[in-house]
Every structure is written in structure tokens, then in C-alpha cells.
Structure 1
Amino acid sequence: MNKEVKDLDLLIIGGGPAGLTASIYSARAKMNMILLENQLIGGQVRNSYTIENYPGFKVISGNDLADLMTEQANELGVKIERFSKILNVSLKDDEKLIETKKFIYRPKAVIISTGATPKKLPIPNEQRFLSKGIHYCAVCDGAIYENNVVGVVGGGNSALEEALFLTKFASKVIMIRRYDYFRGEKSTLDEVSNNSKIEVMYNWDLINVEGKDFVNKAIVKNTKTGEEKEIELNGVFAYIGTEPKTDLFKEYLNLTPNGYIITDENMQTNIQGVYAAGDVRDKKFRQITTAVSDGTIAALAAEKYIAEKER
């Protein structure tokens, strides 16, 4: 069956903060555009229980911030096609084609804001105990560990923030840190250090988890001495970095060895009229505010590209 071809000015792929911001700017510019999102609108920001560093809000939940961004986009008339999985793409200087189950989109410009997913724990029993003691979202799964002991693996702000969140439920949170330092903000680290429910195990690495049907212990190894030991716990939450969602585009775009899309300061990729914004892009800092900045720049650059193309 032949699919309907939709000609557009702009197609935005991904509905996190970067994609939503790009859609808001594009809608205000009266561009004929569509935003595609295969999952929930809002992206990973919905996994943040509390956000305290987004300008204009002293404290706001990730869900509330995502809802406000989505509401603003909707009020501007942004067409959002939810749960629309992309089957194939073709990205060239002179033509862009994106195929979903229902349509083939032929936009003049594309903004890729597909984000990134959490890296999986590199331990033998990760798949065996996935969602049975191994988790990657404390907001999603933390409540099931009421009055239990849980571990947190990671060394950045996400690990610190999620450890604090888990103290709302767990009787104890054990942070397993392979180095003797964290990379997070000092204020957050101070909060962790002063929380009586949190124990930090510096210079220890998680090498496996064990249990019958669910996790009941972790095996850790000292990174300085090589000593191994078991610790009793009921679940492990991992925050060891992210992997970009770029498999669809790797045939066409220049990527880093880790799979992030390489752009210039205007979010332009190596293909004319194709831009990348947010966590999917190669950059030093990945924050909600930097994603919003990327989305702004990408939308303005795409608008300029389309205008010049039509002259």
C-alpha cells in the first residue's frame, strides 16, 4: 500500500525540552511543521522528581515542567504526532525522507532531538534482574522499595539527586562509587553527605548482583585493593551515563565514537538542512537549559535555511 507523502517546512524528531523549544519557535515563525515523538512528550525531564536549577522556577517537578512546555506548544498550534515510530530515514543535502508506519514525510529541514537513554550496568546479571532489582529511574520505581535497602551506582549529579530522592522510601541508600570523588554540584553533594540515610562507599565498583527471583545482594570490588565482598540490598539504581539515540541516522551523519551527533555552533550537521539539538548532540554539558538553548538555535537556523532555499 502506497503511503501518503507529507511535504513540510520542518520535521522535528523527538519531544523533549530541545524538540519542544524548537517547535515553539517554529510555530511562532508560522512554519509548516510537525513534531514526532515515539514515547511520552517531555523526554527524560519527566524522570526528574525535583528541578531547582531551571530559571523562573525555584522548585518544579520534571512532570510539571514538561507539561508546561507541552501546553505552550499546543496553544501555539504545534502538530504533535505521538507514539509515531520511525521506520526508515534518508537524509541528503537535496532531499530528506522520513518514513513512519502511516506516512512518508518530506521536509525541507529536519531537527533531530531524540535524546539519549541510560547506559546499562556492565554486569553479568543485568538482564536477568532488569526491573527485578536493577533500575534506571528512581522516580519510576523508587516507591516499591519502601523500608528496603537500595544501592545507587554513579558519580554525577543524577546519581546524587536520585539517591536523595530514594531516601523518601528506602530505609538506607548505599552509594557505590568507583572513585574517591563525585562530579556533581557541591550543594547537592553537601546534601548527600548530611543525609543520615545515605552511606557512600568510595573506591568500590559494582561487579554483579545476585538473588533468586529478585535481587537480594550486590557483589562489589575495591578499586584500590582488589578486595571483593557482598552487601545485602534489595535493588540497584544506575546512573553511569547515557547513550544517544542515533542508530537511525548513523548512515548519514558524522558521529563521535560514542555515537553523538557532531554539529557546529548553529546545530548544523554535515547534511545541509539537518540539525541536532539536546542530549543527542556532541557537547560538554547536558542540562535542561542547554537543551532548550540548542532547540532555540536549531529552530532559528532551520528557519533561515528554509528562507534562503526558497529565494
Structure 2
Amino acid sequence: MDRAKLPPPNTFAGLSLVLDRVAERRDDSEWVAEQARSAQARYLLLDAAGEAFLQRDHEALRWLDSSEREHWLDDLAASLLGIADERPHFMLVLDDPARITALETALDARRVSLRAAGLLLPAHEAGLFAYAKGLSHWQRETRHCTRCGFPLQLVAAGHRGQCTNPDCGHLHFPRTDAAVIMLVEHEGACLLGRQASWPPGRYSTLAGFVEPGESLEDAVRREVAEESGVIVDEVHYHSSQPWPMPASLMVGFIATARSRQITMRDHELEDARWFTPQQIIDGIADGSFVPSTALSVSYQLLGYWLQQRAGLELDALVVSSSLR
């Protein structure tokens, strides 16, 4: 396959190229403890809202080393993220507002949300932040057994929750909610929609969650029909993106519609319309069309479509508009 024709990696994706999650070692508590004590260990610190500590004057995570963890946060349980650059990486979550404020000063750090940090951090750090945020959200939201209601105890280095009821003992695993996001095209135009709460002029690809017993392709067809009344035939996979805000996996597709007939069937969207490449060029230039943030797979889908269908670079269009 010609790598030049492959879509660029989505934000937060590609972490497996640098991180070994060592899932097979998570139940080896002695090995995990040894890694945590290692002088090579690094700790990613999150607050209760899922914001990470970044360096005060640099666009990089403020990692703690093992001595800093022992000095300030030895009472917190650490969750193993994996091994990168032959160094064990862990996550710590701190809920105490007073300690958080004190640590910001002590570590010369600042707190930033994942959405804000996604395009600031190096790709591997953005991916690690997303991984940690998704895991910490599941840990925070899944504290009782869904079978018997007893409290859960985190095991497997933070990646499973085990019911503490000896008569139950049910294991709970981190969950990810699959969602489809799709650029629908028809004879040289693409279908985009907007929600009333978005900034003026912003249009994005349609999206929605996958329902039980539904394939990804069928979810694409159903969501497009529900939101716009447009009927889709062909559906082709493009790429995926972890989106732990709070716990989704966005699966991107390019789809082909039977016609351009739009019939709004619900109130989720304020508007849906077809755009040609020229209309997008003109809209970006005069400010009447605002694409999704470059953080999202929606932006990548639109950029891929413009490049494939019209030889246009979305990044260049946006930069050119911002310089005017």
C-alpha cells in the first residue's frame, strides 16, 4: 500500500507505536510494584476532573519521578499504563483540591484539559493523556458491582474492578462506547450539519452512538437517516480515534448517499446541507464556514475528502483564512 495515500494519524491515535501496555503483566503484583519503585518510573498526574499537570512554561506533560511520587503522593494507588522507552509509565489521580493547588506550586506546573492539550502536546504525550483520562474516568464512575451492589476493588494494576462480595466476585472491565462519525458524499458534494449551540458558521460531519446488535456500517446508515433523512448506500472505513470525553471511540467512515434529499427528522441538528469544495473554500475565506477543530476526526474526514476530490489541503485553507 502506498503510505502517501494513507490518511494522517488522528489526534490521540498511534500510541501503540511507542507504548507497550504489557497487559499480560498486570496481574503480577510483585512485578508491577518493582516497576513502580524503579528509578526509571514516570507518573502522569490527573486531578478529579481529568485535567493533567503540564510544565509551567513548556507544552509538555509534567511527569513525576519515583522520588517525587514517594515524597508527595505515596498514599495514592498507581495504575500502570505501560512501558515506553524502556521506562514504566503510571497514572495517579488526586482528588484533594488543597493538595492539587499546593502541588501546582511545588511542581511548577499548570493544569490543562485533554481537549485543550490535544494539539499542544507531542503526539505520544497526547495519546498517553487520553489513555489515562479514559482509564481514570472508568475507575471513578465504576465503584460498585452491577450485580450485587458491593464496592469494587481495583486489581490488575488498575485495569479491572473486582467485587468485594465473596459470594459474587464479579469482574468489571473498562468500557468504551463506540460511536460512528461519517462524511457523506454525493456527486461532488458532502453532507454536513450543525448544532444550535455551536459557534456561528460551524458545520461538521454527522455522528452518533452504535446501538446493541448493530454493525458499524448499519449505525452509519441509521444515524444519517435519523438526523438528515438522507439514505446511504456504500460505507467505507477511514480511521478511528480514541475520544475519552468521557469514554468514546470514534470510528470514522466515508459514505455515499443515494440522493441529496434532506428531510430533518429530529431536533438534534439545527441545520444540515450539502457543500461543494468551492463552497467550502469560499466559506472559509469569508468566515461563513467554520470546520471542526483540528483535534477531531471530523476535521480529518473533511480534509481527506477535500484532498481526494479536489486536491485541496484543509490546513492550508484554514491558515490562509487566519492570516487575512
TM-score (norm. length: structure 2): 0.23
Which is greater in Rg? 2
Identify the structure with the greater helix proportion.
2
